[in-house]
A and B are shown apart, each in its own frame.
Chain A
Amino acid sequence: MAEATPSRGAVPADVPPELGSEELLDAYRTMVLVRAMDERCLTLQRQGRIGFYVPLQGQEAAQVGCARALGPDDWVFPAYRELAVALTRGVPVEALLNQFIGNSADELKGRQMPNHYGYRRFNFVTASSPVGTQISHAVGAAMAAQRRGDPIVTVTFFGDGTTSSNDFHAGLNFAGVFRTPTVFFCQNNQWAISLPRERQTHSETLAVKATSYGFPGVVVDGTDVRAVYRAVATARRRALDGEGPTLIEAQVYRLGPHSTSDDPKRYRTDQELAQWKAKDPIALTKHQLLTAGVLTETDDARLWEGAKAEISSALERAEAAPPVAPGSIFEDVFAQVPPLLDAQRQEFEALLREGVLKP
């Protein structure tokens, strides 16, 4: 009976189990772009050019390593800190800057605060702010893919704090029961705003929680692109082979604040930060590449310049785009605007016409 509905797209090209040095170099290119964009966005927020920003410094290797192990037809259910996943999947810098500004070129029509983007054409689902809700969505989508017979996996991203949420438990429990092709990718960045990992749960690791749902949980060094890639590729292979879900705990550190509204000096020490800065994934990956002889300092400088130039030129276009049309407030609440909402739209437009409201 299911055959009546067309299957989505082609079977994704399978990903190799290991990342070679050329692929590592390519991963590093993305990581440089991510870091350059992160730094630029923090500045833009301070300058009042974007409203808010959620930085991800320290988590680039984990995200790029994970995203590179996925196929284009796999579905990603992110939280709000997944810039490196978005860029790895090919989301253009300009599309992201349009979203941060909330201009008329933003594919989300200026509806969401920065970082809560999503792009159907990249199978990158729009995030929300409540933590963990996306976890059971990934499981439901995996159940739907199973039903359609589509050979894909769903991958969901979340942090250490989210392992305390209702939906973490509900989602992993459903995934175990229905043996869904899902990869649960937890970036344990050690801090959920001000709460340290050890106050979040008394479990020895976060990965161990998978045991109670009946599937494997693995811990991986999230500063090591290749190790993360290997863990995700293995989990994805298991899922495609019908062996069910995997929980991956990538151990990382959030080098910056939770968001531009946060001051981490209130809750953690400079000493701890310094220890983790020594494991900055950008520096570690660069060192691996220099040692392997596939990157020189000159290449590296050129990569940074290229990344900064790409961001500047995208920003110029994004800032030139006109603001969102006021009337769009009323679109996409429903497929069609119902009569009572249409009456509010007319009232709103009259206020604009009469100059009571100024756009």
Chain B
Amino acid sequence: MTELTLVQAVNRALHHAMKSDPDVLILGEDVGVNGGVFRATEGLQKEFGSERVIDTPLSETGIVGAAVGMALYGLKPVAEIQFLDFIYPAFDQIVSEVAKFRYRSGGQYPCHVVIRTPYGGGVKGGLYHSQSSETYFAHTAGLKVIVPSNPADAKGLLLTAIADEDPVLFLEPKRSYRAVTGEVPDGDHRVPFGSAQVVREGNDVSAFAYGAMIPPTVQAAEKLAGEGISVEVVDLRSLVPLDEATVLASVEKTGRAVIVHEAPRFLGFGAELAAILAEKALYSLKAPVLRVTGYDTPFPYALEHLYLPNVDRISHSLRATAKAG
């Protein structure tokens, strides 16, 4: 075990994967000499060479398209998109190609590309360095969408992603890169996909969150404990595949649910969770399901502290849900 920040854990996972499998390679903008703008790939080009840690021209569609070709040929490319906000030039490659290759070829051409990208707000990044657009990708059949919230999961889920057979969009909460530290197992640590984690047990209300929303949700749960409200916090970790069983088990126990994400509310991931609860847990519910989310606006720069769900907003909804009905 080693105490690491989340971005260090990402770096350790990449290092471990490259060291143990010569087919793993990294490509992206500024990932080599510079070690990535967040330093996620620091030191890797020096150790593994510029043919395995490839600084590419500034073209997201080129990065993902080249990664597709590499994957079809049998390598295991890990592409970095500098910010999730910049992924849209590669949207066609991701949605039309990466996600559909296995299906459209009748299984002849699996397309195991891992795309890592920092997402989310809280870093004064304004419109184009803050977005949380996981829904576009979770809505696309054929993609796995993974969001770690802590260093141990970042390493364990990224190593699972690189070893997986399917394409993975790996969303790293950039505001947690250095703000969240924790003990990380050394060596080959794997966390399975499709397995949510109950990070805090409780009986009165369930809170579902992922990524950068876990720390404020846990703090809100601690605050409400002081008021006599017992909150269960579930870290989804994997949006696709989703651990529906853990979600349903928690709501069957508490009868109340609050969903927290920083993405806009309308058709956000919370909408799917709420629909699942309506379809499969309606008779367990004692109160309406609430969502604490970003607003349905572009991401604001000066007012991001009011846009992003924080401890106070999350607490407010948890309290309302606990007392409803």
Give the B-binding residues of A (Cβ under 8 A). Answer: 1-2, 4-5, 8, 75, 77, 106-109, 111-112, 116, 118-120, 125-126, 128-130, 133, 135-145, 147-148, 154, 166-167, 169-171, 173-174, 177, 331-335, 338-340
Contacts and interface: CB of A to CB of B under 8 A. Distances in A.
Given A143-B70, A173-B59, A136 B65 contact: yes
A63 B59 CA distance: 30
B102 A174 contact: no
Contact of B62 (A75, A118, A173): A173
Contacts of B97: 128, 133, 137
Nearest to B79: A140
Nearest to B103: A332
Which 4 pairs from chain A and chain B are nearest by CB?
A140-B69, A136-B65, A170-B62, A140-B66
A133 B73 CA distance: 16
Interface string B17-48: 00000110100000000000000000000000
Interface stretch (B106-114, B174-182, B315-323): B106-114
B67 interface: yes
Contacts of A77: 69
A143 B69 contact: yes
B244 A107 contact: no
B261 interface: no
B142 interface: yes
B74 A143 contact: no
B255 interface: no
Interface string B83-124: 000000100110011001111111111100000000000000
Interface of B: 22-23, 25, 51-52, 54, 56-57, 59, 61-62, 64-75, 77, 89, 92-93, 96-97, 100-110, 141-142, 144, 164-166, 194, 240-242, 244-245
A141 B22 CA distance: 16
12 contacts: A112-B104, A120-B108, A126-B101, A137-B66, A139-B66, A140-B65, A144-B74, A167-B62, A174-B62, A333-B102, A339-B244, A339-B245
Contact of B72 (A135, A141, A331): A141
Most chain A CB atoms below 10 A, which of B69, B93, B241: B69
Given A137-B65, A338-B194, 9 more contacts: A2-B22, A108-B105, A130-B92, A133-B93, A139-B69, A140-B67, A148-B74, A174-B66, A338-B240
Nearest to B22: A1
B104 A108 contact: yes
Contacts of B245: 339
Given A4-B22, A111-B106, A174-B57, A141 B70 contact: yes
Contacts of A5: 22-23, 74
A75 B240 CA distance: 32
Contact of A335 (B77, B89, B165, B242): B165
Contact of B75 (A75, A120, A147): A147
Contacts of A154: 69
A147 B72 CA distance: 14
A107 B106 CA distance: 6
Given A140-B67, A335-B166, A125 B72 contact: yes
Most chain B CB atoms below 10 A, which of A109, A133, A140, A141: A140
Contacts of A340: 241-242, 244
Nearest to A120: B108
A144 B70 contact: yes
A219 B240 CA distance: 48
A109 B104 CA distance: 8
B1 to A, nearest CB: 28
A349 to B, nearest CB: 18
B107 A332 contact: yes
Contacts of B74: 5, 8, 144, 148
B105 A126 contact: yes
